[in-house]
């Protein structure tokens, strides 16, 4: 049984980002795959305190919602990091979760993650030019490779202010379903 973990960093549980993720999940399919979704904005996840306890213990000492997410990522085959673009970047909710991935980084810049995990960066943005922030998300993706994730792809929906703005973007929605398939291949 494959497992996909979704971290949605949008404050809107049923917003544009969630709509894009839903299409990715259609591509994942329901046969033989379990999908665990987290709406980060509705969870208690504190920012990394930089205490470095995780470098000794291998776990974060902050007992909050991130504990479960770290365990789920450790046993997942694919992870969707989903976010609206906020000020040319990922949302603060997702950035806090990304910082909290530090326990996967082991001494000597090795990783405790099993190899081969696939990452999809699923992004929505108000601006229509989807090339605008791609370099930033490549930077994010490369950081995730450094943390020990196996590979990443980027999916960007442009011109989205409300979920309905995605409805007529048929090519993009098809790309989203293909990304979902890729996650479980
Ligand atoms: C605080 C804030 C900052 C934003 N910054 C950008 C931006 O820098 N570039 C952009 O294209 N869209 C920006 N947007 C628009 C959102 O990225 C876009 O509408 C997104 O699809 C909303 O997704 P959601 O419905 O999941 O919240 C911003 C929106 C907000 C509220």
Q: What is the pLDDT of residue 11?
A: 98
Domain regions of the chain by residue span = 2-184
Tens digits of residue pLDDT in 49-108: 999 999 999 999 999 999 999 999 999 999 999 999 999 999 999 999 999 999 999 999
Q: Pick from 25, 8, 26, 5: which is nearest to 118 by CA?
A: 5
Q: Mean pLDDT for the chain? A: 97
Q: What is the pLDDT of residue 40?
A: 98
Q: Whose CA is nearest to atom 1 of ligand 1?
A: 86
DSSP per residue, 129-144 = -TTTTHHHHHHHHHHH
Tens digits of residue pLDDT in 105-135: 999 999 999 999 999 999 999 999 999 999 9
How confident is residue 47, by pLDDT bands cut at 50, 70 and 90? very high
Is the CB of 85 within 6 Å of ligand 1?
Answer: yes
Q: Whose CA is nearest to atom 6 of ligand 1?
A: 86
Gap between the Cα atoms of 6 and 178, Å rounded:
16
Bridging pattern class, strands 151-157 and 118-124: parallel
- Tokens linked to 129: 């030019």
Is the CB of 10 within 6 Å of ligand 1?
Answer: yes
How confident is residue 31, by pLDDT bands cut at 50, 70 and 90? confident
Gap between the Cα atoms of 127 and 39, Å rounded:
23
Measured CA to CA in angstroms, residue 84 lies from 9, 31, 115, 126 at distances of: 7, 29, 28, 9
Span 2-184: which CATH code? 3.40.50.360
Residue 161 sits at φ, ψ, to 5 deg, of -110, -30
Is the CB of 134 within 6 Å of ligand 1?
Answer: no
């Amino acid at each position: 049984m494959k497992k996909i973990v979704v971290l949605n960093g949008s404050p809107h549980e049923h917003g544009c980002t969630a709509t894009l993720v839903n299409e990715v999940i259609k591509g994942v399919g329901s046969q033989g795959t379990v999908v665990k979704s987290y709406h980060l904005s509705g969870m208690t996840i504190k920012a990394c305190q930089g205490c470095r306890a995780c470098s000794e213990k291998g776990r974060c000492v902050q007992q909050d919602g991130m504990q479960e997410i770290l365990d789920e990522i450790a046993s997942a085959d694919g992870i969707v990091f989903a976010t609206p673009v906020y000020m040319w970047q990922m949302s603060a909710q997702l950035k806090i979760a990304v910082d909290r991935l530090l326990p996967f980084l082991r001494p000597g810049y090795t990783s405790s993650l099993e190899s081969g995990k696939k990452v999809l960066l699923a992004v929505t943005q108000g601006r229509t030019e989807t090339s605008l922030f791609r370099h930033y998300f490549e930077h994010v993706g490369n950081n995730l490779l450094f943390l020990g994730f196996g590979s990443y792809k980027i999916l960007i929906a442009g011109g989205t202010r409300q979920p309905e703005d995605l409805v007529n973007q048929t090519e993009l929605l098809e790309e989203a379903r293909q990304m979902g398939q890729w996650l479980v291949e």
